Structures are given as C-alpha cells and as structure tokens.
C-alpha cells in the first residue's frame, strides 16, 4: 500500500461529498437554531437535505502523468478538484496527496486593486504557498513571463483584464509544485500568451510533474493528456486513454441530445444526471461501411501534417465495406481548431459516381490542387453515410493539419498585388511595382 | 488552542503579509496616507474633549490626555471585533479558490489593529508630555495588559468570525453592541464615577473596563494596574481563546462551502 502510495501523486478512495441544500440555496437559518447547531456542532440530519455532488469517487493519479478530467456541467469536476486541493474536505472516504500541490482554480486570489503588480505578486505568491525568499528569487522571472513591462509598478486596477490574467497566471505557474491542478484556465490572454502558457505547461510536463486538468476543450484532453477520467453523476464513469474516453463521452452526449434528455443540474437529479449508456462500439453493431484510416498526403505522396498554402493535398480515405451497400457517400469537413467550419463537401453533394456496390475494401481520394488556407491549425472530419444521412462510420478530430503561410483569416485565394499610376500622371508606361505572392 | 497558535506561527509569513497589506491598503490613495492612523483617534478625542470637558464638565485634570489613554486601546478592540466578525465571510475569494488557512484571517485583522495601536503609543506619550505627564517606570506592566487584551480580542474575533459565516446578522448586531459597550466602559470618565453599588461588577464583567483602567493606571496615575482583575481576565482570555479555537477549528472545514 505504501509502495503504491509513492508511485501515485493522488490516491482517492471512495470519496463522497455532500453539501447541505440550505447552504447551496443560501438560506440562513434563525439565530437560535443556528447557534444551537453551531455550538453543539451537531447536524440536524433529519431536517436538512443534502446534495450529493460526489457519490463515491475512486481515482488514482499516477506520478508524472497529465490527467484530464471531463464531464458535463455539474457532474462534480470542480468539487473533485477542490477536494484534491484541500479547500473542501470529503464527507467520507480518503484522499492522499503525495507532494506539494498548487491549484490554478482561480487566478489572482488575494489581488488588491490598489496595489501594484509587484506588490500583488508578493501577496499572491504567499497565499499560493511560497515563502518571501522564494518569491523574491523568482520575481524577475514572474515579471518577465507576464510581459507587463513598466505596468508592473502600476496599481492592478488600471490593468486590462488580459494583463490581470497574465500577471496572475505568471505567479501561479512559478509556484513550482509537484502536482499542478488546473481548472479551465488554459485560455489565458491573447493567442500569443495562450501559446506561452501552453509552453509553460509543456515545461511542467517535461519536468515530470503531475498535472490534473479540467476542461471542456476535448481536443486539449486528446492532444495533451496521458490519461482521461470521465466523471458522470458524481462517479468516475471511465478512465483510460484520452482518445477512447473522449470518444465515448462524445457519443454519450450526442445520445443524450438525441433522446432529448432534460439537462437538469446534475447534482440535484435523483440519478445524478448520468448520461445514457453507450455501446462501446461492440462488434455486433459494426457499421456496414467503416473508415479504417484517413491519410493526408502531400505532393510526393508521402504523409504530411504541415504544408504551405499553395501545396496540393490529398485526403486518402481507406474504407472497408462489410456488406454490399447500395448508396453510400463520403464527406469531408475541414474546420479550424476552434471548431469553425472552413469547408465541407461530400460525394453526394458533388454527385460523384461511386461503384455500386462498394468494393469490400478500397480508398477514396479527394485531391485539393492547392490547400488555399491561411496559416493555422485545422482538423479534418471524414464520415461515410447513407443517402438519407445515416452515418455508417466517422473519423473525427484525428486528422490534423498545420498550414504555414502569410495572411490571416481562413481562406487564401490565389492572388497578386500590382500598383499602377493614374493615367494623367503617366510618365513611364511601366507599372511602378509589382509583387506576386509565391 | 496551542495547535491553533502553532499553526498561526507556521503561517506567520502569510499573517505578516496580510497585515502589511491591510496596513498599506487602508490609507492607500489618500493624501495624508499613514497620518490618518494618528488623525482618526485625535479627532475623535477632540470631539469627546469638547463634549466632556467644556459642555459637561468632568473634574479630570488634563482631560484630553486621560481620554486618549482609554480611547486608543478601545479603537484597537472595537475595530478588531467589528472587522473580525466579517473577516471570514468577506473573503470568499480566498477561501473558495485556494487552500487557505482560515485562522489567519481574523488574526490578521486583530494584528493589523494592534499595529495601529502600537504605532499611536508614541503619540500618546507626546500628548502626555504636552500636558506635563512624563512616562514612569510603570510602563513595564504595559506588555502584560496588551497581551491580555490581545487574547480577549483574538478570542472574540475567532468566535464572531466563525459564527458570522452562517449567521450574517451578527456583524450588524456587533456594531450596535460596540456603541453601547463604549459608553459602559470607563474611557471618558473615571471608573470611580460608577455608583459604588455595582462598580465592581461593571468593571469586572467588562474586559475593556479592566483594560482601560489598567492603561489609565500606567499612563495617568503612575501606578501598577490592579493585578486581580487583570489576572482574572488573563485567565478568562486563555479559556475563551481555547474555546474559540475549538469552535473555530470544528467549523473551519465548512467555511469554504458556506461563505
């Protein structure tokens, strides 16, 4: 037991957390009853109703791993984080923490608006558990990381919200914990700072620190985490490889939407607001047409993940057809990492003749002569479906593409720039300048 | 209680920083800044002096000085208890977002006001000199009085801050009680003015009366303070602090959920 304890950063055993209902509804009771309850320390169990936020959590977070926690709103994610941090104590069960823990549940705890950035770093750092000496030693790093420049000596109330967040994030990540707990705050500041903070996280990861992350950004979980835990109705519904857990979670959410399940606050529902059970893609219901693999190929026919705006791209969709299917179509949707759809097409839409029935296995290729996208990260979703739109199989969020070019927005039409003088000012007949984007 | 105090010592860095922050924040942005620490009690004293030595004559020599002796510790006590009551309930930002030792919060209110009190002691001495009262060797007893008052104040701050989390009316009640408390405490009159029949009870039952008369003995009468009442309240302070610590400790886990 103690040996495993050393291996694991956080061991949570059968943790239950109840909240008194009156607490949540902010009903303050009368002076007398409250005082009696208070002084005796007794809880009137019969009279008060409880809200079951967590109904028995068993979770082991191995040392040095990045673990993502997902689940719908109200499923108990934040409560669990607060228990790990020690802000709440469990109603029953045990939580063992091995190592110094630092939580980024909220940025800028204890910031005082009238104090300068520098003074607030000191206070905030001490609140987060650093000593004065440690903070002084890291002060310059923290200020440099926040990129506040001369603003560091201005009162925090004059900061923009982005500056405030940057300062707070800088302090929080310089605490140097063994275990870092993050609640939904990776999206700090602008694009540039967002990258920087991700870089900081990567640094933590590389340094072998344990990270527990709660986020609704499922692609972050897939890209970033070693493990994913799905909390549903106050219990761990599944823990395992991020791809699989996220996939099942997505399907459960989709199913819930399909069944028009009323989304009551999870903790108030009798069953804890659990999402419907989904079949974990059992062989019995294997799709008639299955997409086994999608490859992105460059001009040379080799797989690519990064390419220029003018490069061609081939999407090779490998499929297997389990039975002769008469009407099947393939569709490809390209979207940005924020989920904005850039382009979508399908064989039905373009009336591409496909062999009927489909061969038992084969490749469908979609060739783009030039990518024509502005720089950024994109994801391709590929699916196979019937003429009525019933989906046989899909390949989502797994094909990623980075485009490197100059420009912004989403599209990059072929273009060139010219400058011509007005006709009356024509001295020389040649254009003054001409530039063509490569 | 000892665990509580040990933890306080353990978090002394935090306590110190919060206190520093409070001291700095209080007058941040005002033109006179830190001078307000001295100006506030002085102005209060001027009003009471006008009231009690000009309008309603009190037969006390150097009345302004006498009044000031009682007023300073009272301000320490009243602002600590008044501020202490909401020390936990006002800091939801800290308690629910970081792992935070809650007992530091009421303590920092008390210590902040203690600092203000200590800083205004030189002003008190200066005042005395102005009226021809030189400080005597009796000031050696001063730390004892201060520690006793600190104990009582801290205990009350713990108790009230913990109760106020669930019973918010308390901070309003306390502010009204403090006004009444001020008038039954011999600050702007001598304890001997209280009718003989219940003088002893009124003084002994009121810790601040014991404190005020002790300070007056030291600074005004050049005597050692009466040992009996002071020892009594030092003992009560000890018991009170123990009880308050136990109650605070028992409730502490709930603070994050309830505030």
Residue B251's φ and ψ, nearest 5 degrees, are -90, -15
pLDDT in tens, A66-123: 999 998 887 888 888 888 888 888 888 889 888 888 777 777 677 888 888 888 898 8
pLDDT band for B181, please (50, 70, 90 cuts).
Answer: very high
Measured CA distances, B151 to B25, B120, B145, B236 (Å)? 25, 20, 10, 9
Distance of residue B256 Cα from the nearest chain A Cα, in angstroms: 6
Domain end position, chosen among A214, A242, A271: A214
Per-residue model confidence (pLDDT) at position A261 = 62
B25 touches chain A (CB under 8 A): yes
| Closest to B77 measured CA to CA, from B19, B21, B37, B117 | B117
Percentage of chain A with pLDDT > 70?
81
B93 touches chain A (CB under 8 A): yes
Do A117 and A51 share a structural domain? no
B166 touches chain A (CB under 8 A): yes
Q: Is the pTM of this model over 0.80?
A: no
Question: A178: which 2 tokens?
Answer: 């063994």
B250 touches chain A (CB under 8 A): yes
Question: A332: which 2 tokens?
Answer: 């490809």
CA distance B30 to B23: 13
Question: B117: which 2 tokens?
Answer: 């009190």
**Residue A242 resides in a domain:** yes
Which of A 96-115 lie inside 8 A of B, CB atoms? 101, 103, 105-106, 109-110, 112, 114-115
Please indicate whether, in this complex, the C-beta atoms of B97 and A87 are within 8 angstroms of each other: yes
Do A235 and A338 share a structural domain? no
CA distance A5 to A85: 17
Burial class (CB in 10 A: 0-12, 13-18, 19+), A109: buried
Q: Would you give the end-to-end CA distance of chain A in angstroms?
A: 64
B255 touches chain A (CB under 8 A): no
Q: Among A285-289, A292-296, B194-198, which is the least confidently predicted range?
A: A285-289
Distance of residue B97 Cα from the nearest chain A Cα, in angstroms: 6
- The segment with the largest mean pLDDT, out of A283-297, A367-381, B76-90, is B76-90
**Residue A172 resides in a domain:** yes
Q: Would you give the end-to-end CA distance of chain B in angstroms?
A: 24
Range of the domain at A134: 103-214
User: Best of B29, B168, B257 to disrupt the A interface by mutation (most A CBs within 10 Å)?
Assistant: B257
Per-residue model confidence (pLDDT) at position B154 = 94
Q: For residues A299-320, give the mean pLDDT.
A: 85
Measured CA distances, A210 to A58, A98, A180, A197, B38 (Å)? 18, 10, 6, 16, 51
Measured CA distances, A305 to A296, A297, A313, A370, A377 (Å)? 7, 8, 10, 15, 10
Do A133 and A75 share a structural domain? no
**Residue A297 resides in a domain:** yes
Q: For residues A323-342, give the mean pLDDT.
A: 79
pLDDT at B68 exceeding the cut of 80? yes
CB B67 within 8 A of CB B52: yes
Percentage of chain B with pLDDT > 90?
43
Please indicate whether, in this complex, the C-beta atoms of A103 and B98 are within 8 angstroms of each other: yes
Please indicate whether, in this complex, the C-beta atoms of A87 and B95 are within 8 angstroms of each other: yes
Per-residue model confidence (pLDDT) at position B234 = 93
Residue A258 makes CB contacts below 8 A (sequence gap 6+) with none
ipTM: 0.75
Per-residue model confidence (pLDDT) at position A268 = 58
| Closest to A115 measured CA to CA, from A158, A161, A73 | A158
A210 SS3 class: strand
Please indicate whether, in this complex, the C-beta atoms of A110 and B94 are within 8 angstroms of each other: yes
Higher pLDDT, B1 or B130: B130
Strands A306-308, A391-404: pairing is parallel
Residue A322 makes CB contacts below 8 A (sequence gap 6+) with A286, A287, A288, A289, A290
pLDDT at A385 exceeding the cut of 50? yes
Do A193 and A177 share a structural domain? yes
Q: For residues A231-241, give the mean pLDDT.
A: 87
Cβ–Cβ pairs < 8 A, chains A and B: 84
In this structure, what CATH number is given to the domain that contains residue A175?
A: 3.40.50.300
CA distance A186 to A227: 18
Per-residue model confidence (pLDDT) at position A40 = 64
pLDDT at B238 exceeding the cut of 90? yes
Q: Among A21-25, A424-428, B5-9, B226-230, which is the least confidently predicted range?
A: A21-25
**Residue A229 resides in a domain:** yes
pLDDT at B71 exceeding the cut of 90? yes
Do A232 and A203 share a structural domain? no
Please indicate whether, in this complex, the C-beta atoms of A114 and B28 are within 8 angstroms of each other: yes
Do A201 and A108 share a structural domain? yes
Domain coordinates in residue numbering, chain B: 2-258
**Residue A236 resides in a domain:** yes
**Residue A142 resides in a domain:** yes
CB A367 within 8 A of CB A295: no
Residues of B in contact with A119 (CB under 8 A): 21, 24
Percentage of chain A with pLDDT > 90?
4
CB A309 within 8 A of CB A403: yes
Per-residue model confidence (pLDDT) at position B124 = 92
CB B95 within 8 A of CB A82: no
Q: How many CB atoms lie within 10 A of CB A232?
A: 21
pLDDT in tens, B115-173: 999 999 999 999 899 998 888 899 999 999 999 999 999 999 999 999 888 888 888 89
Please indicate whether, in this complex, the C-beta atoms of A85 and B98 are within 8 angstroms of each other: yes
CB A320 within 8 A of CB A314: no
CA distance A121 to A170: 9
What is the tally of structural domains in chain A? 3
CB B94 within 8 A of CB A109: yes
pLDDT in tens, A372-381: 888 888 888 8
Distance of residue A21 Cα from the nearest chain B Cα, in angstroms: 11
Domain end position, chosen among A214, A232, A261: A214
Q: For residues A205-221, give the mean pLDDT.
A: 86
Strands A210-214, A179-183: pairing is parallel
pLDDT band for B40, please (50, 70, 90 cuts).
Answer: confident
Question: B52: which 2 tokens?
Answer: 């009690």
Q: Among A97-111, A299-313, A362-376, which is the least confidently predicted range?
A: A97-111
Please indicate whether, in this complex, the C-beta atoms of A114 and B98 are within 8 angstroms of each other: no
Do A134 and A229 share a structural domain? no
Residues of A in contact with B168 (CB under 8 A): 28
**Residue A44 resides in a domain:** yes
User: Which residue bears the tokens 């308050």?
Assistant: B244
Residues of A in contact with B21 (CB under 8 A): 112, 115, 119, 123
A10 SS3 class: strand
Which residue from A minimizes the CA distance to B162?
A38
**Residue A269 resides in a domain:** no
Do A87 and A21 share a structural domain? yes
Per-residue model confidence (pLDDT) at position A31 = 60
Do A188 and A51 share a structural domain? no
Q: Return mean pLDDT, chain A.
A: 79
pLDDT at A363 exceeding the cut of 60? yes
CA distance A192 to A169: 14
Q: For residues B224-241, give the mean pLDDT.
A: 92
User: Which residue bears the tokens 């306590």?
Assistant: B15
Q: For residues B244-259, give the mean pLDDT.
A: 83
The partner residues of A336 in beta bridges, in order of sequence, read A378
């Amino acid at each position: 037991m103690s040996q495993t304890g050393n291996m694991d950063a956080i061991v949570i055993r059968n943790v239950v957390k109840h909240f008194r209902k009156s607490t949540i509804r902010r009903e303050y009771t009368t002076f007398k009853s409250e005082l009696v309850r208070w002084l005796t320390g007794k809880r009137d169990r019969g009279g008060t109703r409880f809200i079951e936020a967590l109904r028995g959590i068993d979770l082991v977070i191995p040392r040095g791993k990045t673990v993502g926690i997902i689940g719908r709103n109200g499923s108990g994610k934040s409560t669990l984080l607060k228990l790990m941090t020690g802000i709440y104590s469990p109603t029953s069960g045990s939580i063992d923490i091995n190592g110094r823990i630092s939580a980024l549940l909220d940025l800028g705890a204890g910031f005082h608006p009238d104090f300068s950035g520098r003074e607030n770093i000191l206070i905030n750092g001490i609140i987060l558990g650093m000593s004065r000496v440690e903070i002084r030693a890291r002060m310059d790093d923290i200020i440099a990381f926040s990129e506040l420049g001369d603003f560091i000596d201005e009162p925090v109330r004059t900061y923009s919200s982005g500056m405030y967040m940057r300062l707070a994030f800088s302090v929080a990540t310089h605490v140097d914990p063994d275990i870092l707990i993050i609640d939904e705050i990776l999206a700090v500041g602008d694009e540039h700072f967002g990258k920087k903070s991700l870089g900081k996280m990567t640094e933590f990861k590389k340094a072998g620190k344990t990270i527990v992350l709660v986020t609704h950004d499922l692609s972050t979980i897939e890209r970033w985490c070693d493990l994913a835990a799905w909390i549903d109705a106050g219990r761990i519904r599944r823990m395992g490889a991020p791809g699989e857990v996220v996939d099942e979670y997505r399907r459960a959410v989709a199913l819930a939407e399909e069944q028009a399940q009323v989304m009551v606050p999870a903790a108030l529902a009798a069953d804890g607001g659990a999402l419907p059970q989904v079949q974990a893609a059992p062989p019995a219901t294997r799709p008639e047409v299955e997409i086994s693999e999608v490859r992105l190929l460059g001009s040379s026919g080799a797989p690519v993940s990064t390419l220029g705006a003018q490069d061609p791209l081939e999407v090779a969709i490998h499929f297997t057809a389990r039975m002769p299917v008469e009407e099947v179509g393939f569709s490809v949707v390209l979207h940005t990492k924020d989920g904005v759809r850039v382009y979508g097409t399908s064989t039905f839409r373009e009336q591409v003749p496909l062999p009927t029935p489909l061969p038992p296995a084969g490749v469908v290729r979609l060739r783009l002569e030039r990518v024509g996208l502005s720089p950024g990260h994109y994801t391709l979703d590929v699916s196979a479906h019937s003429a009525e739109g019933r989906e046989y199989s899909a390949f989502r969020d797994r094909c990623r593409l980075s485009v490197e070019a100059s420009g912004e927005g989403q599209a990059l039409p072929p273009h060139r720039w010219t400058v011509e003088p007005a006709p009356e000012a024509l001295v020389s007949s040649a254009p003054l300048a001409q530039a063509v984007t490569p | 209680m000892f665990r509580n105090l040990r933890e306080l010592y353990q978090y002394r860095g935090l306590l110190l920083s919060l206190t520093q922050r409070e001291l700095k924040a209080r007058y941040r942005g005002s033109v006179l800044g830190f001078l307000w620490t001295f100006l506030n009690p002085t102005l209060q004293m001027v009003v009471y002096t006008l009231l009690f030595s000009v309008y309603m004559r009190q037969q006390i020599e150097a009345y302004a000085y006498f009044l000031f002796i009682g007023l300073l510790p009272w301000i320490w006590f009243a602002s600590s208890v008044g501020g202490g009551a909401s020390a936990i309930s006002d800091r939801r930002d800290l308690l629910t977002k970081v792992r935070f030792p809650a007992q530091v919060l009421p303590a920092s209110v008390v210590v902040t006001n203690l600092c203000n009190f200590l800083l205004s002691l030189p002003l008190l001495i200066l005042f005395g000199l102005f009226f021809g009262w030189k400080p005597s060797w009796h000031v050696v007893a001063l730390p004892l009085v201060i520690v006793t008052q600190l104990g009582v104040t801290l205990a009350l701050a713990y108790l009230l801050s913990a109760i106020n989390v669930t019973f918010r009316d308390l901070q309003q009640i306390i502010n009204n009680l403090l006004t009444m408390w001020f008038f039954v405490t011999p600050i702007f009159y001598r304890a001997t003015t209280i009718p003989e029949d219940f003088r002893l009870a009124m003084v002994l039952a009121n810790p601040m009366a014991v404190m005020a008369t002790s300070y007056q003995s030291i600074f005004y009468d050049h005597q050692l303070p009466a040992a009996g009442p002071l020892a009594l309240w030092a003992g009560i302070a000890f018991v009170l602090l123990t009880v308050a610590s136990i109650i605070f400790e028992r409730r502490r886990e709930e603070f994050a959920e309830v505030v």
